[in-house]
Structure 1
Amino acid sequence: MTTPPRHTRLTFHGPLSETRADALVQRLVRHAPTTVLDIGCGWGELLLRILAATPKATGTGIDINADDLARGRKAAAERGLAPRVRFLEESATGTPHGPADLVLCVGASQALGSQLPQALGELRRLVSDEGRVLLGEGFWQRPPTPAELPRMWPDAKATDHPDLATLVGLAVDAGFRPEWTETASLDEWEEFESAYLADTEVWLARHPGHPLAAETRERADRHRAAWLTYRGVLGLAYLTLVPVAAR
């Protein structure tokens, strides 16, 4: 049975351009990490690029999505990186896979705790004292209106995200200094969200009478309506964080 393809148009599972990804990799490998831990790695594209740029490093990616992990393992094998990376299907809660010289947590802080301060505390535990954390975290570019919130995601609340200043302040409170602060552009968001749905939209146009079409159409329409609502309201910050040394 023909089924909708999944995420074949996406390089990264988030609003991240090639230009920004290249700059992030260059910055993150400056301190020559030898161990890299990716929380909620998906298929680990950024992890693999960092390993390719640091031949002495090894990596561990953790996620609970078996399909994404299989895609990551396939990509690692194709790039000759399989001996230096492992993709683990497991929860990140209380993970023992640390401390690492570089910890990636992009759009996945919920895997470390239901509240952002708790997740930031876990990131501090998981990074070595001389290491770095790349945190990709949502923030409100402006406060959402009461009319917008119900159209974003189930049970969306104004307290689901902080503003950018509060987000950076929480990182500082957790024992980090922000080496670099940047945010995804509208172009990056639009490319990501369009690519997220593109395969599904084409499949729906070609298979309107398929047994799975009604369910797939409802899911796609709901996602599109949500992102067109949070477009320009929800941002994503990329924070390169340096752990503060113990006194």
Structure 2
Amino acid sequence: MTPPHRTRLTFHGPLSEARAADLVQRLTRHRPTTVLDIGCGAGELMLRVLATAPEATGTGIDLDADDLARGRKAAADRGLASRARFVEESATGTSRGPADLVLCVGSSQALGGRLPEALGELRRLVTDGGRVLLGEGFWQRTPTPDELSRMWPDAALTDHPGLATLIGMAIDAGFRPEWTETASLDEWEQFESGYLADTEVWLAEHPRHPLAEETRQRVDRHRARWLTYRGILGLAYLTLVPTA
């Protein structure tokens, strides 16, 4: 028996039901017929877009076979299997676009090593008059050297820009920001707690399991890291319109 993992998460990121509903309404206002989801995971947001835009078809790209399988099952369960494709492949240099709506939430690294290159790829992948939803990390404040040392391995100030710099990069890449919003502390706490909750309960119920010590160390490291970047690392949801 292995510890359960992520069963309490709807989205793999700090995204509430209310914000997701608002995003879907905004992103479908221009009636997209093609949707491309970069680093889609199980494709929850893409499936909600397809349910709201009945003329649209969607393609999700990811390298995680388990997440893709969950996405295919969810599409079938919702009657969307004929309009949703989940493809196991790299998004680097992808030829899947251009699409009327491109979703890239927490996945810009899949398009290149640096954010300016990823933004250039997003501009290439969206049709004129389309939309891009970019979910991207930013520093809410500058972390101290001690805080950086307690985040993810090799964390550096250059890992993320500030919010104003992020928006400036998007403009330089050929976009105008139609809408700017950022994940709330409540959304972050719901996500990070939901990410660990199943495993924490399993550890409490199986303290002497052969996998318990290894699992405990992994979970404790993750919690310590997110409690360090809590209130420091933000996530922006930018609705971007390509400049003609």
Give the TM bin, normalised by the shorter chain.
over 0.9
For the aligned residue pairs, the C-alpha RMSD in angstroms reads 0.6
Q: What is the rounded CA distance, in whole Å, between the counterparts of 2:3 and 2:215 in structure 1?
A: 8
AA partner of residue 185 (structure 1): S
Aligned partner of 1:147 in structure 2 is: 146
Residue 104 of structure 1 aligns to which amino acid in structure 2?
A: L
Q: Distance in 2 between matches of 1:17 and 1:196?
A: 14
Whichever residue aligns with residue 54 of structure 1, its letter is A
Where does the alignment leave 5 or more consecutive residues of structure 1 unmatched? none
Aligned pairs, number: 244
Which residue is 2:30 aligned to? 31
Name the structure 2 match of 1:161: 160
Deviation at 1:4, TM superposition (A): 1.1
Equivalent in the alignment of 2:18: 19
Alpha-carbon offset, residue 161 of structure 1:
0.3
* 4+ residue segments displaced more than 4 Å: none
Within 2, Cα distance between the matches of 1:227 and 1:202? Answer: 19
Partner of 2:64 in structure 1? 65
Q: Percent identity?
A: 81
SS at match of 2:193: helix
The reply to whether residue 211 of structure 1 matches residue 210 of structure 2 is yes
In the other structure, the counterpart of 1:78 is: 77
Deviates more, 1:84-93 or 1:204-213: 204-213
Shift of 1:61: 0.3
Cα distance, 1:9 vs structure 2:
0.3
The residue that corresponds to 1:129 in the other structure is 128
CA displacement at 1:206 relative to structure 2: 1.0
**Distance (Å, rounded) in 1 between the aligned partners of 2:87 and 2:216:** 32
Letter in 1 for 2:166: L
Q: Partner of 1:148: helix, strand, or coil?
A: helix
TM-score (norm 2): 0.99
Please say if 1:118 is aligned against 2:117.
yes
Deviation per CA, 1:35-73: give whole Å up to 9, x if none. Answer: 000000000100000000011100000011111111111
What is the letter of the counterpart of residue 64 of structure 2? N
Partners of 1:211 and 1:74 lie apart in 2 by 32
